[in-house]
A and B are shown apart, each in its own frame.
Chain A
C-alpha cells in the first residue's frame, strides 16, 4: 500500500506525520520524500547513505554541421527552449520539458538528446526504514521529473509512505498520482481550512480516497471539523496544539520518541488508514460485481 501525506498549505505537519508514521510502521517500510525542493525527512531519520544517483532529463543537442537554421524546431517547441538563428539552433536546457519534439521534427536529423542534471535521488537506511529522497539542484525550476525519478526507486512489494510537497499543482500531482490513500494534514485555522478545501478538490479530481489529520487542535476553532463532517471525510487523527511537540520538532526529534504518549496515536493513525483503504477497496469490488 502506498500512503501519501499531503496538504494544500505548507507547514501544517506533513513531515511530522510522515516520519512518525514510518517509525511506528516498523521494519521494511519505505519513506519517500517527494518534497524535492525542500526535503526534510532526513533531518529526523538520520540514516546511513546507501546510494546516490544523479537524475538527468533529456534535452536537445544540435549538430551544428547538419543544422540549416530552418526553424522547424523552434517553431514547434512550446517552451521556448530552442531558438533558431542563422548560425544554427541555440538551446535553453533549463526551459526544456524533454518532450523530444524538436528532434522528431528536425528534417536534417541534426538534433539528438543529451542528459541535463536536475538533482539527485539518495537512498539511506535508518533503523529499518528505507528513506528515499529527491533533492532538486538550486536554480532548477521543474520538480516533477525529479519526483517521478524518486518514485521509480520504490520497491513495489513493500509498503511506502510518501511525503508530498505543499500546494495543489504539478509537483503534488506527480507525487500523489498513484497513491492508494492520501492523508491530508491541516490545522484548524482559516488558512488551514481554505487550503484543505483546495486539497480535497485535488484528490477528488484524481479520484484518490483521502482522510484528514488535524494538527494543532485547540489553536483555532471547529470549522475544519465541521467541513470534514459535511463532506464525509474521515478525521483519522487529531494532534493537540502542544508546544512540547513544536520544541521536539525544532531539535529534529520524532514526537513518538520524545513524547512516548504519541506512539499509540500514530499507531492508531496507521491502523485507521489501512482500515479506510480496505473498506474503500471492498466497496469498490462490490460495485464491480454489480
Chain B
C-alpha cells in the first residue's frame, strides 16, 4: 500500500518494546499539531481513545477472510480434513455419543480453505469471518480512525491497513496535511502494516537493556522498508549513561535524535485525568513540546 499523495505527511509512532510511551506521546503530538488526522493502529490493545475521548461518528464491522464450518449432519467422519489441515484446527467433535465427527476450532484456523475444497461430502461451509470493528470519530484535535480487533481474531495487519487507508482518505478529503499514527509494539505483521508508506517512523524507547535491544531491531525494520527514523528516549534520566549510548547508536544507524522525555509521574497523572501530557504544564510536557518543535524543523 503506497501513499500516492506526497503532500500528506505521515508520522508513525512505534517502539519495538511495548509500554515505552507511544500512546502518551501520540496523543500529545495530536494536540500540538493542530488539525491532523489521527489513526490508532494498535488494533490489539487500542488506548488512544482513553485520552482523546472521541465521539464516534460511524462504526463498521471488519470482515476479513472466511471461516469453515462443518455441517454435522453431512460429516461422515472420514477425517480427511483433519489429515490435510496444517494448523491443527480440526478437532473431534465432543458431546455426541457414538457418531464420529469433526468440528473446526476457529482460534487455530487460518482460513486457508483446504478442508472446504477437499471434503469429499462437500460438508463444509465457508462464510465470511467477522474479525472486529473500525470507527471514524471526532476528537478536539481532528478526525480519528480507530479499531477493535475481535478477541483472539486474525488479520490484525489487514485491519491496520484499513485504518490507515481511511485516515489517508479523510486527510485528502478534508485537506489535512498531517496524519499521526499510533503504532503497535513489536516488529511483525501489524507493525509492518502501520509503517507502510509512512514519511517518518518516530521511535520511542527507554534507557533499559530491553529498550536498547528492541530499538536496534525496530531501526533495522525501518531501514528494511526504507523509512526515515527519528528516536526519542523516554524516562531518559532513569539511566543517563545508557541514554547517551542509545542516542549515539541511533545517529550511527542513520536516525535523527529528536529529544528526551524525563521520568515524570505527571505522564501517568495525565492518563488518570483522561487528558494528554501537554494539557498540563509539567516538565515532561515541556520535553514533548521540544520534540514537536524539533520534528517540524528540518534536519
Contacts and interface: CB of A to CB of B under 8 A. Distances in A.
Interface string B189-230: 111100000000000001111100110010011001100000
B63 interface: no
Given A9-B47, A10-B18, A191-B47, A250 B209 contact: yes
A8 B45 contact: yes
Interface stretch (B33-41, B93-101, B145-153): B145-153
The interface residues of chain A, by DSSP majority, are classed as loop
Contacts of B221: 138-139
Given A10-B18, A166-B45, A166-B186, A138 B224 contact: yes
A1 B84 CA distance: 31
B188 A97 contact: no
A128 to B, nearest CB: 22
A105 B207 CA distance: 52
A174 B271 CA distance: 31
A194 interface: yes
A177 B107 contact: yes
B272 A169 contact: no
A149 to B, nearest CB: 13
A257 B265 CA distance: 26
Interface residues of A, number: 59
A99 B110 contact: yes
Given A205-B151, A219-B268, A250-B239, A171 B188 contact: yes
Nearest to A79: B112
B185 A206 contact: no
Given A194-B50, A220-B268, A250-B242, A169 B44 contact: yes
A78 interface: yes
Contact of B214 (A38, A171, A202, A206): A38
A247 interface: yes
B77 interface: no
Contacts of A268: none
Contacts of A139: 192, 221, 224-225
A-B complex: 7 closest residue pairs judged by Cβ atoms: A11-B19, A10-B18, A99-B112, A167-B44, A37-B186, A252-B209, A141-B189
10 contacts: A9-B45, A37-B191, A40-B209, A40-B213, A166-B185, A166-B186, A167-B186, A168-B151, A246-B208, A251-B209
Interface of A: 8-12, 15, 35, 37-38, 40, 43-44, 58, 76, 78-79, 97-101, 104-105, 136, 138-143, 165-171, 173, 177, 189-191, 194-195, 198, 201-202, 205-206, 219-221, 243, 246-247, 249-252
